Amino acid sequence: MITPTPSQIKIRDHMARDLLVVAPAGCGKTEALALRIDGLLRRGDVELPRKILVVTFSNRAKDNIRDRLRAYLGATHLRDHVTVVNFHGLSARIFKAHANAIGLNPSMTLPESDWVREECNRKGLEYPAAKRAQDALRAAKLEPRTDSDIEEYLVQNREINALEIERDRVADARLTYDDLPRVAELILADDRVADLYREHFGALIVDEFQDLTPQQLRIVNRIGYRRTTYAGDLAQGIYGFTGAKPTEIHRRIAEECTTTVTFAESHRSSPAVLAAVNSLIPLTGGTPLTAADEASWPGGGLFATARFKTAEDEADWIANLTGRLTSKVPHHRIGIMARTEKRRKFVEAALDGIGVDYMRWDDGVLDTDTARAMRSLLGHFNLTAYERAESKISFLRESSGLEEIAESSTRQSLGEALGWCYELLRDGIPPSEILARIKVGNGDTLVTKPGVHVLNGHVGKGQQFDWVMIVGAEDGSIPFYLAKTAEERAEEARILSVMISRARHGVFVTYANEVQITPTWRKSQNASPYFNELSAAKPLGGQDLWDWLRDADWNAIAAR
């Protein structure tokens, strides 16, 4: 057990069951939620046969909060008094128990993998057509539409590929990940069903409220309106492409909850890193943060920016800096991030050029069994037969033995790996190169090991690195050129803030004035407009940066 902070104690002892917890990254949110649940149970606010429902967005978050609750409550008390699920798990539970309320068969096939993506691959849709079909189906299902309503919506919008996939889904009697919350909302529209859940769960806890879609909030409200604790941070709302609407959700939750507790101390990041995060608050709507123990950070941490003539120059500088850091603090984790994969490729080429080993997060970071299955498939891959196959995704599934696997999580992991493999093959990557990219081992262990990690900004949410290097901070990249509305550009600022906030000791933000877009087109770029805000954090640059690196107490940094 840790000693609770004053904010955590306030959350634990809050008497009403509605509460908004604003908890930026690294502020002890998971511990606070565990304390909140412990307080509700110890006061008798929720007594058997009622339970507390905890809803998360990911399996990792679900496991994290379950582990903390086990420390407070013990395994038996936890099992008897608390239900911890992610949103898909909650929706699946509602469907399986009450599908007949909306005339559906509860034995329909539930999603084990991204079936829509697999169907796009199976139909041979190129990326633009596949993305349009996926986006159309997601948009159609973010509202409580019946199957016939969805078909009408797709017909009216002339989404031919999406319509064909949807008709196949209905004919196969299956649900996709987007269908689960849709049918859950339709079922909960029946007051008799909603009353059952309101009676069963005396209080709700929702983690990462900024990632909620309006649909998910409606589901939560049907079960626990004014009996829900919401925790999260508007400044970390970066999933608009999934239907999340952080600003709208934050406003609606603030209207529902009578009390807000705001965390203002970070236990993760140095003062310099927090200054960079704070400088973006006018754009992100975030909360000003201070380091919980400023004196414990050697040199106060580091925030630096740099400009380069070309993306190749930038990449060489990043690669050499990475080499210097790994030599000084070999057990540290260095995250090299970009807004997009294409903007990241220059750095990967530079790292390859000087022989720096790194973990590319869009590669096959797979559990041991899945990695072995993929290695076996690719080690004896018949490329000629694959190219002749009418359905290439079906060829991969059959060759890997996917259909013979009974255990659902194993099937899901292998199915996702096959989709990744298909997309690389489609892009002309030879099987031998895909094989070389596969890392054998536990995925969590691989992505948390010391060394250099290369990833996109969205993937880094929820992660932590000792040092973060953000490359490609040009206008058009950050913010992304497709971000046109005020809300879209605010989300782009939040993506930059999230990338910065992953860092513990130091963060570097760089950009280039010229970027080779294609072999024949080198584009002139301007710095991201967000640099105006970042300048308020007084970033180091030029000789001042190298002086800091030269004079730093690396033994103290390594020990922190």
Average pLDDT over residues 205-227: 97
pLDDT, position 414: 87
pLDDT in the model for residue 142: 97
pLDDT at 229 over 90: yes
Residue 49 to residues 53, 81, 82, 533: CA-CA distances in angstroms?
A: 13, 8, 11, 52
Question: Between residues 255 and 372, which one has the greater pLDDT?
Answer: 255
The per-residue pLDDT for 409 is 72
SS3 243: coil
User: Tokens 């930038």 appear where?
Assistant: 314
Length reported for the chain: 560
| Phi, then psi, of 550 in degrees rounded to 5 | -70, -40
Q: Is the pLDDT of residue 444 over 70?
A: no
Per DSSP bridges, beta strands 265-266 and 260-262 are: unpaired
User: pLDDT per residue over 264-290, tens digit each?
Assistant: 999 999 999 999 999 999 999 999 999
Q: What is the pLDDT of residue 320?
A: 95
Which pLDDT value is given to residue 436?
Answer: 86
Single out the residue of 406, 417, 418, 411 nearest to residue 443, CA to CA. 417
- Cβ burial, residue 269 (10 Å; 0-12/13-18/19+): buried
Q: What is the pLDDT of residue 442?
A: 67
Would you state the pLDDT for residue 191?
97
| pLDDT at residue 519 is higher than 90 | no
Q: How far from chain centre, in Å, is Cα 396? A: 27
- CA dihedral over 270, 272, 276, 282, signed as positive or negative: positive
- Write the single-letter amino acid at 382: N
- pLDDT tens column, 104-123: 999 999 998 889 998 998 88
Distance CA(36)–CA(47), nearest Å, equals: 15
Task: Report the pLDDT value the prediction gives residue 365, as an integer from 0 to 100.
Answer: 62
| Whole-number average pLDDT of the chain | 93
> First vs last Cα of the chain: how many Å apart?
21
Q: What is the pLDDT of residues 358-383, one digit of tens each?
A: 988 877 666 788 888 899 999 999 99
Cα distances (angstroms) measured from residue 174 to each of 130, 366, 493: 20, 27, 38
Of 148-157, 237-246, 324-333, 388-397, the poorest mean pLDDT is in 388-397
Tokens 């004196």 locate to 295
What's the pLDDT score for residue 298?
96
Q: What is the DSSP string of 368-418?
A: HHHHHHHHHHHHT--HHHHHH-SSHHHHHHHHHTGGG---HHHHHHHHHHH
What pLDDT, in 10s, does the model give residues 143-189?
999 999 999 999 999 999 999 999 999 999 999 999 999 999 999 99
- For the stretch 18-77, pLDDT in tens is 999 999 988 989 999 999 999 999 999 999 999 999 999 887 788 889 998 999 899 999
Question: Whole-angstrom Cα distance, residue 36 to residue 12?
Answer: 4
For residue 443, what pLDDT band results from cuts at 50, 70 and 90? low
Q: In the prediction, which pLDDT does 518 show?
A: 83
Q: Is the pLDDT of residue 438 over 90?
A: no
**Range 537-541 average pLDDT:** 96
Q: What is the mean pLDDT of residues 429-452?
A: 83
Distance from C-alpha of 222 to C-alpha of 231, rounded to nearest angstrom:
18
Question: According to the model, what pLDDT value does residue 212 have?
Answer: 97
Token couple for 321: 């800096």
Q: How far is the C-alpha of 402 from the C-alpha of 309, rounded, in Å?
A: 49
| DSSP conformation letters of 29-66 | HHHHHHHHHHHHHHTTSS-TT-EEEEEESSHHHHHHHH
Q: Tell me whether strands 503-518 and 521-524 are parallel, antiparallel or unpaired.
A: antiparallel
Q: Report residue 1's pLDDT band, with 50, 70 and 90 as the boundaries.
A: low
Sequence-ordered alpha helix ranges (H) in 189-238:
191-200, 214-224
